[in-house]
Amino acid sequence: MVPVLTRHMRHESRIVRIGPADTEQVILLHRRCSVATLWSRYHRAMGDPRSYLGGLLTRLDSVHLAVRHQDGRLVAVGHLMPDGDRAEAALLVEDLWQNQGLGTRLLRHLGGHAVGHGWRAVYGLVLPGDERILAMLRRTSIPVQRVEEEGVTTVWADTGDIADALPLRRGRSRQPTRAGDW
């Protein structure tokens, strides 16, 4: 029997920074994801997550965030990986937790980190027809550019637009915080 998630359950989770010490939990998250979810994230069939996650989580100057449920499980991960003056963003949300707003929350936090790191833009690679990702981008209300090439859509947002959308903090100007959020 599949548990039914409620709006209240979604708020029992928090966004945390992760790193190499969390590799085993990220592997378990990958193993709970369907083939379709992994295909949407990696755009190809992937082998044992142990073979590639260690390198991902130790990548220099990258930002790795996760949604940690109150029971301690990681149910979603997001990464920002430097690419010159830009950063590539990538997300993975466990099937059971999709359509709960966790991907959007992670993306907003990653955007705040991108502003704080001084990258010019954030981009991601999306498979054609992946309407969930495109809907998530629309919910951020940030202007997103897109170009389709060779069966993949590259979407990107300028960090200046992300910074403009950062919420005002009480008594402060629009500035990203270390946790970042737009």
Residue that is written with structure tokens 């010159």 in the block: 84
% helix / strand / coil in the chain, to the nearest 5? Answer: 35, 25, 35
Residue that is written with structure tokens 């790795």 in the block: 64
Q: Are 147 and 79 in contact (CB under 8 A)?
A: no
Q: How far apart are CA 47 and CA 39, in angstroms?
A: 11
Q: Identify the structural domains of the chain with CATH numbers, from first to last.
A: 7-165 (3.40.630.30)
In tens, the pLDDT along 4-28 reads 454 444 457 999 999 999 999 999 9
N residues, the chain: 182
Report field, pTM of the whole predicted structure over 0.75: yes
In tens, the pLDDT along 26-65 reads 999 999 999 888 888 887 666 777 777 878 899 989 999 9
